[in-house]
Amino acid sequence: MPTTPRIQVIDALRGFALLGIIMIHSIEHFELFMPVNAESPLVLEIDQQVFESVLFLVSGKAYSIFAFLFGYSFFIQMKTKELQGVDFRNVFLWRLLVLLAIGLVHSMIYRGDILHIYALMGMPLVSLYKVGSRTLLVVTSLLILQIPTLGMIVESFVDPSYIYTPYYGDGYYEEGEQIYSSGSLWDVVVFNLYKARVVVWTWTYHTGRFFQLMALFILGLVIARQRYFENLKAYRYKATLIGYFSLIFMLLLNLYLTGVESFDWTDSQKQLVMVVVQSYLNAFYTTAICCGFILVYFYFSKRVKIFDYLSSYGRLSLTNYVSQALIGVLIFYDFGLGLWEYVGATVSLIFGLGLFVIQVVISARWLKTYKYGPMEWLWRALTYKDFSIPMKKTDWETVQS
């Protein structure tokens, strides 16, 4: 079965985003937010600064890059099949259903799984494939604006007695913390089957992530029509300009965000405004990161080997994403080593970076012999309902690589 030629900058950017994900997951102990034991020698004075720095640099940005690339890759797959005279819509929907199943199984162990969310939210893309780019950009803008939250902001200022009470389940969040920190594997699985899904989906909605992710899916689709990553030389100056202004807006929004707490507003007004501003900040910050990465890649990829390693890491993104979470919960959760109580943010970050290096090395070596990672092969085999798809490269393919 023929495969679409890889675009290295996309794989490298995906690998870079995955680095951000493992950094944020590690300092968060893979969504176990219980206070650590201050007497532990692995809890350091700089932990709070490290935690806040990684949170600012990474939180909400890595997943946003993944969402953008999801939309971009969707267009590439659809267009490639279209040029071959193949209607790929039903196959793509089935592909998403397979990803949904993988994500749901993964979420039984790790509450923060994003795969099942991407799978469900990605389905509308099929109906948007033929919609004009201008219309899609209007839809994207409306989604980024966070209109439902803006409506609540207006209501809170019209009626200062308005109380914003986001729903995350009836004590489900706190229950999850107790189970992850002291429960068995079976306790975790049972909780994650339903109650953790309520927590994750309501959190995704209340933080504005739902609308932002959908906007990035569509934006990736629109930009892919311009073959942006295939023509970096032609678009490099535009990337510089967009990245520059995105950085300025990001800094201005960050300054505004830090000042909100001092405003003479109600708690609900502050909370709602901060949700919207944080969403805008993440959007501009993600844009600046992408533009910066693209420019560095364009000018240095032929001289710096790190992009080859990031590309290998990104090509195995599904395998690496799933495996890093499974390893993480075994390290920090009580049914594993239970180190959540004894390891602060700094040591946790070092653990995450160490795991990243190990995965990068394994990915690079794996791809010398194999076409796909284990999870990538499984996803492909289930998509095409063909388990005879070879995972291993032929001798000729090995020489070419």
Predicted pLDDT at 125:
95
Length in residues, the chain:
401
* Cα(286)–Cα(313) distance, integer angstroms: 20
Do the Cβ atoms of 341 and 34 come closer than 8 Å? yes
* Cα(120)–Cα(118) distance, integer angstroms: 6
**Token pair 């680095």 is at which residue?**
19
Predicted pLDDT at 68:
95
Predicted pLDDT at 398:
60
Predicted pLDDT at 397:
60
Structure tokens at 168: 């995350």
Predicted pLDDT at 3:
55
Phi, psi of 365 (to 5 degrees): -70, -40
Predicted pLDDT at 394:
79
Which of 346, 344, 352, 310 minimizes the C-alpha distance to 327?
352
Q: Where are the domains of the chain?
A: 8-400
Task: Tell me the whole-structure pTM to 2 decimals.
Answer: 0.92
* Cα(98)–Cα(91) distance, integer angstroms: 10
* Cα(92)–Cα(96) distance, integer angstroms: 6
Question: Please, what are the averages of pLDDT over each run of 10 residues along the chain (401 residues)?
Answer: 73 96 96 93 94 90 92 94 92 96 97 95 94 96 95 95 87 93 96 95 91 95 93 91 94 92 92 94 93 94 92 96 96 96 96 97 95 95 93 69 52
Predicted pLDDT at 168:
83
The burial of 85, by beta-carbon neighbours within 10 Å (0-12 exposed, 13-18 middle, 19 or more buried), is given as exposed
